[in-house]
Amino acid sequence: MADRALIIIGNHISPFVRKVLAVCEVKGLPYAMDSIVPFFGTERFARLSPLRRIPVLIDGDVVLNDSSVICEYLEDKWPERPVLPKDPAARAQARFLDEYADTRIADVLLWKVFGRALVAPAIFKAERDVAAIQRTIAQEVPAVLDHLEAWAPQTFTMGDTPGVADFSVASHFVNYRWARGVLDAARWPKVHAWVTRVEACAPMQRLNEIGAKILRVPPDAHAATLREMGVPVAAETVGGTSPQRGPMTAI
């Protein structure tokens, strides 16, 4: 058990952040949220996160970036209630699924659908490019889902309990749905069953509920909304007020 609360700079709207939070919840690690919109991060945020991305984990003097790096740190430091399989082959496969979610699924479902549908208009005041979204859904999403249909586990990637790879993949489908994307259960039944199973587990259900609520309130009300929902909020924030593009901003 952690002897002090971890600080997570992030936002429940982000699938990468919900993955990290789910791991903290599974492991029973106390944390406080500095809920920011990454595009509004201050200069201090840029120093803590060189790519200006969330999540960032602060554990005392340790500052870490990237959701997968953070989850492996949590797994190494608090191995009880594991979130990665022990068997080397299964562990490597779980890591690849997580990587596939962070790169390809994120590129298609998050940046090209959710980003264009919700982030571009809300943050960058850009017009919603409906034609581009529809092109992605028709031309790119099916191949991603075909791969996942072949890889979908019977229950979870770890067997009876969900782990990092399950949280990582399933989280993206929540944002996809928020952007009105539909996962066709008849065409991809195994993916649909897997994602539904992961979403139904306690930490994910709650985290997605918080994300859905945060999505509906303006950034300056995020912290208050979290407090109302019983989420501990960090005393200091690295959140700013004007949009900035990071070196790898994908929309």
Query: Which residues in this chain contact ligand GSH in the complex, by CB under 6 A?
Result: 14, 16, 38-39, 52-55, 66-68, 102, 246, 248-250
**What is d(CA 188, CA 145) in angstroms, rounded to the nearest whole number?**
7
118: left (phi over 0), alpha (psi -120 to 50) or beta: alpha
Report the half-sphere exposure of 66 (CA within 13 A, side-chain side): 12
Please check whether residue 28 is in contact with residue 79, taking contact to mean a CB–CB distance below 8 angstroms. no
**What is d(CA 171, CA 192) in angstroms, rounded to the nearest whole number?**
13
Query: Which one, 200 or 250, has the nearer CB to ligand GSH?
Result: 250
- Least Å distance, CB 10 to ligand GSH, is 8
Which H or E element spans position 64? strand 62-65
- Least Å distance, CB 112 to ligand GSH, is 13
- Least Å distance, CB 37 to ligand GSH, is 9
- Least Å distance, CB 52 to ligand GSH, is 5
- Least Å distance, CB 245 to ligand GSH, is 6
**What is d(CA 206, CA 18) in angstroms, rounded to the nearest whole number?**
10
**What is d(CA 194, CA 182) in angstroms, rounded to the nearest whole number?**
15
Please check whether residue 164 is in contact with residue 83, taking contact to mean a CB–CB distance below 8 angstroms. yes
- Least Å distance, CB 243 to ligand GSH, is 10
Query: How many C-beta atoms surround the C-beta of residue 171 within 10 A?
Result: 32
